Amino acid sequence: MEDFNKKRSGLDMNDKEIVFSQSIKAGKRIYYLDVKKNRKDEMFLAITESKKVVMGEGDDSQVSFEKHKIFLYKEDFEKFINGLQQAIGFIQEQQGCYVQHNDNEQPSDNGQSAEQGEKESSLDGEIK
């Protein structure tokens, strides 16, 4: 019985270790950015990709989620950011920058340039 209680209290600790969380919805995927604390009270970033998978069709369909995690520690932040920026820069150089437009949006006239409005509107509703 003691082992059960240790496992149970360990699960409760995992729920409490998240100190900041942000989700990014992108089609069938959701990316979670969770800042957590380890046992030494040091913070790290847990990045989770959750992808909705539908098996079958109609009433017989079953929905499940594939999850992949990456743990990023503070000593690696700078190297990770540099590598990510280089990879994104390469893609943009090869294929151009992609800005998603929503056909239902009305242009706003609040003093922003058209480019600023496009950048901001492409992110509306994507990050929570």
The domain limits of the chain are 2-76
Side chain identity, residue 23: S
Residue 58's pLDDT is: 82
Query: How many angstroms separate the CA atoms of 49 and 26, rounded?
Result: 10
DSSP states along 8-39? HHHHHHHHHTEEEEEEEEETTEEEEEEEEE-T
Residue 98's pLDDT is: 65
Q: Which element (helix H / strand E) includes 63?
A: strand 62-73
Residue 16's pLDDT is: 52
Residue 99's pLDDT is: 58
Query: How many angstroms separate the CA atoms of 26 and 100, rounded?
Result: 11
Domain 2-76 CATH (choose: 3.30.230.10, 3.50.50.60, 1.10.490.10, 3.10.450.700): 3.10.450.700
Query: How many angstroms separate the CA atoms of 114 and 112, rounded?
Result: 6
pLDDT tens string, the chain, 128 residues long: the values are 445 444 444 444 444 589 999 999 998 899 999 999 998 899 999 999 999 888 888 888 898 999 999 999 999 999 999 999 999 999 999 998 765 545 444 444 444 444 444 444 444 445 54
Residue 28's pLDDT is: 87
